[in-house]
Structures are given as structure tokens and as C-alpha cells.
């Protein structure tokens, strides 16, 4: 029997959502969080969008979701203070421009400390579900590749242990990697390429592909009569979008992942959209 | 009001992914070349179909000539940005000697860095742009910038590299054992770093940074050149996005971030707006068909109204000239449709 979306995620600990910018990652992550929360699951929504995060401006608070925005320097600080034991000592030595620069530009360091924070969150809340809204694909790849690549560089020290844990979390059966995409050429192609690249890094558990912004079902029947004027325009408009959708579905099938179609809604606000998507996910 | 294209030389087409940037960049390039400008369009990961529409099998990193239907005199060149080997090329350019080059290219830390940054097109885009902007070969250069919701990523790409090689950071690591020259705070910091990162990593880093000695000035000057280029009055920053709340909030942030750096947005393109008919039923139709048409029309009508609302919000918040582009019924897979789109983009002003 086929499992529902909810059933297949409730026993997980970490869900990653990735996809091209602007495909609705934040909306899908939030809708999933909302859904799980409604079923009594403790959830944390982790956004990692470096610098001037657009996700910062989205109204999560109004949705009642606990959101954590992570950034490199503060995650590094948390990690280092844990080791050094004294925050004052950290401030004394690290709170200067040179060290801050070092932290933000060292290859893979930001990604690794952020992944470390996710691990930490999971470790402290074993019953919770952590949903990670990843930045757009290029950065998301770094997020996964850095700890896996750095593991080879650090064979000693605290960092080695930390990296081992992170990699274990990435590949754990309790972790799922989901993709969000649109029924269009470029985002779909990118999803396929991204999945292939990730699969070459390690054996991740791939979860769902969300095909966002699909057409809803309309009552009545598409006209079979010969049309002209506005009726014809409308039918063409519908058919053009439907054809794109079909093609995207076919291409995404090749990933072997479960596909979930999400309707494009006419809600004017982001919050109402997220709530409606969450209801839709409940029926999947 | 029309767009003063004569005054502009470089067009940076930016915005989030999946909004049709690449297509619009190509359309703009076609339009400019048909107006008689020698035009170059630089693009990142373009759709195969767009490449085919422009008349070649696939985009290549070499310069490819595009023939423009109806304008035999038009000179249009397209090229794809190669981000894969970008870092290696930079190292080759700035290395002081073949030995230095070899040492860096073979460094394990460098390889890790390249692997983890390899996917970011930002560096490559800016580097290629700088390369072409200084040559007089082209009148107009259009850059389809990498998809980013983050203006600073693009602007700061060379800066991050330069920061990495900042002299003050370098100083710590260069010449092992040189730390004692520094104040006590730095010594404690180094000790803490050793505890946290392990000495193996720091040794690797130290070797790597020593190898890079003398190259940082080159990176620094590239960063300044990019900033200058962005600020130049002959550069036009075109933001392509869609009319929705999430895109609106993000665009406001985007503009703020650019303005902070002294860069101005020149034009806003709201792409793929839905069209909506007043009365969808024409001709004799059965009841089922009428119901279907009415509900489909109602749906597009609602989308249209929501978009109109956000389009208005965009205009009053961003206060820049705005073009509205409506969704095309046929896919944009032939050059003629692209040409029409180019006209719409440059003339249609709201």
C-alpha cells in the first residue's frame, strides 16, 4: 500500500528542501512544518540563507512556526564557545574583523558549522522534525559537499568527530532530501542535475519531488467544439501550461522519486498560500 | 517613456531563478543587435531550447555568432559562462611563476575550495564581464546573471576571494611560527583554532596561503573593478521577477542591498503575467464546455488580479520604471517570438 506524505515523514528527524531560487521552497518547507505541527509533531524550521536572506522577510511568526535563521559566524561562535567553555574568551579572541573574515571565507567552514548546528538540534530534540530550507542549488551543493569533502582533510581533532557526525546525519535513513521545482524546462533540468551530483557524493535518501504551481482541476469539460475568439485563447492558455506540466512530470519520473503536484493558488498572501498548501499535502 | 538604450552599454539582467531571465536576456540581445549595435550576450546554464531557438545545437563557452532574421547586418554573439575552470584560470592569470601556479593547483585545500565553490557562477560571470567590458569590440554587453536572490552574492564574489587572501589574515598563517610577533590575543586565538580545527587543517591552510603570496592585490583590484562597473552610469541593472508577495518582499531587500553599495536598479521587469478575458464564451457551446471555460477564466482572472495588486506594490515601493510582460501562449522556442519579446521589453512601458 502506498504511504501518505505525512506517514512517510513523521518518523524522520531531518528533512532537507532544495531547489532553484523562486520555486517555492520556503512555502513547501513551511507548509510541511505546519502539517506536522498540526499532527502534534514538534518541528523546527531552519532557514539558511546567507547575507540578506529573503526568507527573513517572510512572515513565519504569523504561521506559528518556530524558525531558526542560521548564519556562519554565529554558528561558529556557538560551536567554539562549546569547546572553549567561556564566552568571554571567545569574544576576546574571535570578536574581531580578521577572525570574522576568516570564518566567513574559509572554504566550507560556514556550511560545516551550519550542518553542525542542525546535527546539534537533532541530537537535543530526538523526537522533533527539523526542516531545513536550503539556499538555491549552488549553495545547497556546497552544504552537502563541504562536510563530505572536508572529512578527508581533517583526520584528527574535534572537527573530525564533528564531520563524521554530520556525514552520518546526511546519509541516515531518518533523513530525507526533497526537491522543489516548477513545471518549466530550467528548474526541472536543474533538479535532475542536482540529484545526479548529490548521488555521486554519497547514498542519500531521496524523498519527494514537489512539482509546484500546477493547474487545478476545473469543473465541466474542456470544449471539443471548434473554438474561436476569447474561448480559443483561453483553451490555448490552458493547454500551453498543461503541456509544460506533463513534460515536467515525465522528466521527473526518471529520478525514481515520489512526485507530489502542488496546485498554483490564487491566494494573494504568502501565509494563506502556505496554509492551503499544507491542507493539500494532508490529502496526499 | 522609453528606455534610453543609447546611453547604456552593459545590461545586467538579474533576479531569482525560474523567472525567465535567460530568455529575456536573449530577447534584449536580439533587439539591440537589430538596432545596429554590435551585441554580446553572456549566459549561464541556458535551456537547450533557447540555444536551439538562437540557431545552435547547444551553448558553448566559445563565442558563437547568431544570425538575426530580417536583419542581415546585425552582429550578435552569444557565449556561455564557464564556471568549471574559472578558478584555475584566475590562478593562472595572477600567479607570479609557473612553480607557484603548479603548487596552488595541486594543493588539496585549493581543490576542496574549488569543488565547493565550483557551482557558483557568480565569480565566473563577473570575471568574464570585466574581460569584455574593457574591450571595445562590443557596443552592448548583456549579462544573464546567475540566479540569485541575493544581490550581494554577485557584487561581492571577487571581494570574498580577496578577503580570503587579505593580508591581515595571511600574515597569521604565513611563515610558521611567526605568531609570537603578534599580540597575546592572537596567540590565544591561534591556540583556540588549533583546538577547534586541528593542526592538520591549519598546516594545510598555512601552506596554501603561503603559496598564494603576492596574488591578493590582483583579486582586490578585480573587486574594485566590479564595483565600479556596477556603479557606472552606462550600466543598467535590470531586475526580472514575478508579481507575488514573496517576490515582492525579496525584491525590496534586493534593491536595499544594491543601494547600500551605491548601485541603482534601472528597470523592473514583471514577467509572465496572466492575461484575462472579460467574457470567455464565444460561439455555440454545450453546457459542460461553458462551465469549464467559465471556471478556467475565473481562475486566470483571480491570478491576474492578485498579480495586478502586487505589481502596484512593486511600483510604489521600488519607484523605478517598470515593464509588464504577459505570458506567451506559445512556447518561446523560435527566434521570431524572441524578437517580438525583445521589442515588448524595450518599448512597452507602464
Convert the pLDDT of each residue in B86-118 to its tens digit: 677 777 877 888 888 888 787 776 776 666 554
Q: Does residue A85 sit at the B interface (CB-CB below 8 Å)?
A: no
The per-residue pLDDT for B99 is: 86
Which set of grid coordinates corresponds to residue A123? 541530537
**pLDDT of res. B180:** 43
pLDDT level of residue B176 (50, 70, 90 thresholds)? very low
Instruction: Tell me the C-alpha distance between A271 and A280, whole Å.
Output: 14
Identify the closest residue of chain A to B282 by CA–CA distance: A231
Distance CA B287, CA B271 (A): 34
The arithmetic mean of pLDDT across residues B210-228, rounded, is 76
Q: Which of A237, A240, A269 sits opposite B331 (nearest CB)?
A: A240
Mutation target vs B (from A57, A234, A247; most B CBs, 10 A cutoff): A234
Please answer yes or no on whether B285 and A22 come within 8 Å at the CB atom. Answer: no
**Mutation test of the interface with chain A: which of B293, B294, B304, choosing the one with the most A Cβ atoms within 10 A?**
B293
Q: What is the CA radius of gyration of chain A?
A: 21
Question: Contacts of residue A24 in chain B, CB cutoff 8 Å?
Answer: 246
Helix (H) or strand (E) holding B337: helix B335-347
Beta carbons of A160 and B108 less than 8 Å apart: no
* Residues of A in Cβ contact (< 8 Å) with B273: none
Distances (CA, A) of A178 to A14, A56, A191, A195, B120: 11, 22, 10, 10, 21
Residue in chain A lying closest to B302 (CA): A266
The pLDDT value given to residue A51: 42
Decide if pLDDT at A59 tops 90: no
- Compute the radius of gyration of chain B from its Cα atoms: 25
- Residue B96 CA to residue A225 CA, distance in Å, equals 74
pLDDT for residue A54 is more than 60:
no
* Residue B267: C-alpha distances to residues A173, B151, B222, B241 (Å): 47, 15, 26, 11
Q: Give strand pairing partners of B43.
A: B80
Position B174 scores a pLDDT of 55
Q: Say yes or no to pLDDT of A254 above 90.
A: yes
Chain A residues with CB-CB distance to B297 below 8 A = 234
- Summarize pLDDT for B259-298 with one digit per residue, the tens: 988 889 999 999 999 888 777 787 788 999 999 999 999 9
What secondary structure letter does DSSP report for B97? S
| B20: Cβ contacts below 8 Å, ≥ 6 apart | B240, B271, B272
A-chain residues near B197 (CB < 8 A): 154, 157, 159
d(CA B167, CA B165): 6
Does A229 touch chain B if contact means CB atoms closer than 8 Å? yes
CB atoms within 10 A of CB B235: 21
Distance from CA of A262 to the nearest CA of B (A): 16
Under a CB-based contact definition with an 8 Å cutoff, are residues B116 and B164 in contact?
no
pLDDT of B1: 53
Q: What is the DSSP string of B25-92?
A: HHHHHHHHHHTT--EEEEESS--HHHHHHTTSSS--SS-EEE--TT-TT--EEEEE---TTHHHHHHH
> Chain A contact for B303, CB < 8 A?
yes
Q: Which residues contact B95 (CB under 8 A, 6 or more apart)?
A: B101, B104, B215
| Arithmetic mean of pLDDT, A104-126 | 84
What pLDDT does A209 receive? 96
- What is the pLDDT averaged over residues A248-265? 94
**Which pLDDT score is estimated for B47?**
66
ipTM above 0.90, yes or no: no
Q: Which residues of B touch A224 (CB under 8 A)?
A: 289
Domain B5-83+119-162+213-347 classification at class level: alpha beta
Q: Three-state secondary structure along B182-239?
A: CCHHHHHHHHHHHHHHCHHHHHHHHHHHHHCCCCHHHHHHHHHHHHHHHHCCCEEEEE
| Interface with A, mutate which of B153, B156, B197, B299 (most A CBs under 10 A) | B197
| Inter-chain residue contact B148 with A136, CB threshold 8 Å | yes
Q: Which of A39, A38, A46, A37 is nearest to A15 (CA)?
A: A46
Backbone phi, psi, residue A16, to 5°: -100, 140
Pairs from A71-75 (Cβ < 8 Å, separation ≥ 24): A71/A110, A71/A114, A72/A103, A72/A104, A72/A109, A72/A110, A72/A113, A72/A114, A73/A100, A73/A103, A73/A104, A75/A110, A75/A113, A75/A114, A75/A116, A75/A117
Q: Among A3, A10, A17, A64, which Cα is nearest to A194's?
A: A17
**Chain B contact for A200, CB < 8 A?**
no
Q: Is B280 on the interface with A (CB under 8 A)?
A: yes
Residues A31, A274 contacting (CB under 8 angstroms): yes
Domain limits, chain B: 5-83+119-162+213-347, 166-211
B330/A149 Cβ within 8 A: no
Torsion A45-A49-A55-A57 (CA) sign: positive
What's the rounded mean pLDDT across residues B167-193? 58
> B216 CA to chain A: closest CA distance, Å?
14
CA A114 to CA A143: how far, in whole Å? 8
Q: pLDDT-derived band of residue B177, with 50, 70 and 90 as boundaries?
A: very low
Cβ atoms of A45 and A65 closer than 8 Å: yes
The CATH architecture that domain A11-282 belongs to is 3-Layer(aba) Sandwich (3.40)
pTM of the model as a whole = 0.84
Cell of A160: 573530525
Does B45 score more than 80 pLDDT?
no
Report the residue of chain B nearest A263, measured CA to CA. Answer: B299
Contact B247 A22 (CB under 8 A): yes
Would you kindly state where each structural domain of chain A is located, as residue ranges?
11-282
Closest B-chain CA to A157: B198
Cell 523546527 belongs to which residue?
A: A44
What are the chain B neighbours of A27 within 8 Å (beta carbons)? 246
pLDDT in tens, A61-79: 777 788 888 877 788 888 7
Say what the pLDDT of residue B70 is: 94
A222: which chain B residues are within 8 Å (Cβ-Cβ)?
289, 292
> Using CB atoms and an 8 Å cut-off, which of residues 115-134 of chain B contact chain A?
115-117, 119-121
Banded pLDDT at B181 (limits 50, 70, 90): very low
Amino acid at each position: 500500500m502506498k504511504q501518505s506524505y505525512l506517514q512517510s515523514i513523521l518518523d524522520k528527524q531531518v528533512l532537507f528542501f532544495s531547489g532553484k531560487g523562486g520555486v517555492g521552497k520556503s512555502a513547501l518547507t513551511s507548509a510541511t512544518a505546519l502539517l506536522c505541527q498540526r499532527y502534534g509533531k514538534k518541528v523546527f524550521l531552519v532557514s539558511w540563507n546567507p547575507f540578506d536572506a529573503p526568507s527573513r522577510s517572510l512572515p513565519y511568526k504569523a504561521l506559528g512556526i518556530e524558525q531558526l535563521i542560521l548564519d556562519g559566524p554565529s554558528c561558529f561562535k556557538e560551536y567554539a564557545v562549546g569547546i572553549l567553555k567561556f564566552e568571554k574568551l571567545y569574544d576576546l579572541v574571535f570578536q574581531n574583523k580578521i577572525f570574522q573574515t576568516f570564518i566567513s571565507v574559509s572554504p566550507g567552514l560556514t556550511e560545516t558549522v551550519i550542518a553542525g548546528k542542525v546535527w546539534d538540534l537533532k541530537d537535543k530534540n530526538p523526537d522533533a522534525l527539523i526542516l531545513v530550507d536550503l539556499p538555491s542549488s549552488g549553495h545547497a551543493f556546497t552544504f552537502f559537499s563541504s562536510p563530505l569533502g572536508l572529512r578527508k582533510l581533517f583526520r584528527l581533532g574535534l572537527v573530525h568527530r564533528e564531520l563524521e557526525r554530520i556525514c552520518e546525519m546526511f546519509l541516515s535513513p531518518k533523513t530525507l532530501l526533497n526537491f522543489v521545482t516548477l513545471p518549466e524546462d530550467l528548474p526541472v533540468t536543474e533538479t535532475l542535475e542536482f540529484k545526479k551530483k548529490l548521488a555521486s557524493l554519497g547514498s542519500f535518501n531521496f524523498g519527494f519531488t514537489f512539482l509546484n504551481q500546477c493547474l487545478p482541476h476545473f469543473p465541466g469539460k474542456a470544449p471539443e467544439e471548434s473554438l474561436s475568439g476569447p474561448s480559443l485563447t483561453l483553451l490555448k492558455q490552458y493547454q500551453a501550461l498543461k503541456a509544460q506540466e506533463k513534460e515536467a512530470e515525465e522528466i521527473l519520473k526518471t529520478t525514481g522519486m515520489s512526485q507530489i503536484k502542488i496546485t498554483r493558488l490564487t491566494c494573494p498572501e504568502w501565509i494563506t498560500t502556505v496554509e492551503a498548501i499544507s491542507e493539500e499535502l494532508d490529502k496526499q | 517613456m522609453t528606455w534610453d538604450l543609447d546611453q547604456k552599454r552593459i545590461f545586467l539582467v538579474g533576479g531569482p531563478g525560474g523567472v525567465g531571465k535567460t530568455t529575456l536576456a536573449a530577447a534584449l540581445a536580439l533587439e539591440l543587435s537589430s538596432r545596429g549595435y554590435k551585441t554580446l550576450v553572456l549566459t549561464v546554464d541556458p535551456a537547450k531550447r533557447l540555444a536551439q531557438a538562437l540557431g545552435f545545437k547547444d551553448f558553448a563557452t566559445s563565442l558563437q555568432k547568431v544570425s538575426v532574421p530580417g536583419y542581415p547586418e546585425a552582429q550578435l554573439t552569444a557565449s556561455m559562462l564557464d564556471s568549471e575552470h574559472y578558478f584555475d584560470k584566475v590562478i593562472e592569470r595572477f600567479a607570479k611563476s609557473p612553480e607557484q601556479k603548479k603548487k596552488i593547483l595541486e594543493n588539496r585545500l585549493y581543490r576542496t575550495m574549488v569543488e565547493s565553490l565550483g557551482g557558483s557562477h557568480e565569480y565566473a560571470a563577473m570575471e568574464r564581464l570585466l574581460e569584455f567590458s574593457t574591450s571595445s569590440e562590443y557596443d552592448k554587453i548583456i549579462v544573464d546573471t546567475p540566479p540569485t536572490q541575493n544581490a550581494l552574492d554577485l557584487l561581492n564574489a571577487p571581494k570574498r576571494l580577496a578577503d580570503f587572501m587579505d593580508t591581515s589574515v595571511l600574515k597569521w598563517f604565513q611563515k610558521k611560527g611567526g605568531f609570537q610577533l603578534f599580540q597575546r590575543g592572537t596567540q590565544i586565538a591561534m591556540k583556540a583554532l588549533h583546538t577547534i580545527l586541528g593542526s592538520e587543517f591549519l598546516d594545510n591552510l598555512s601552506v596554501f596561503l603561503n603559496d598564494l603570496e603576492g596574488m591578493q592585490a590582483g583579486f582586490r583590484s578585480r573587486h574594485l573593478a566590479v564595483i565600479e562597473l556596477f556603479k557606472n552610469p552606462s550600466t543598467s541593472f535590470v531586475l526580472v521577477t514575478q508579481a507575488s508577495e514573496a517576490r515582492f518582499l525579496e525584491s525590496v531587500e534586493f534593491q536595499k542591498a544594491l543601494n547600500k553599495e551605491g548601485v541603482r536598479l534601472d528597470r523592473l521587469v514583471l514577467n509572465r503575467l496572466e492575461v484575462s478575458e472579460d467574457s470567455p464564451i464565444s460561439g455555440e457551446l454545450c453546457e459542460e464546455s461553458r462551465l469549464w471555460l467559465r471556471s478556467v477564466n475565473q481562475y486566470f482572472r483571480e491570478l491576474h488580479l492578485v498579480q495586478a495588486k502586487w505589481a502596484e506594490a512593486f511600483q510604489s515601493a521600488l519607484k523605478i520604471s517598470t515593464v509588464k510582460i504577459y505570458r506567451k501562449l506559445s512556447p518561446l522556442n523560435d527566434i521570431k517570438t524572441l524578437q517580438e519579446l525583445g521589442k515588448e521589453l524595450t518599448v512597452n512601458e507602464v
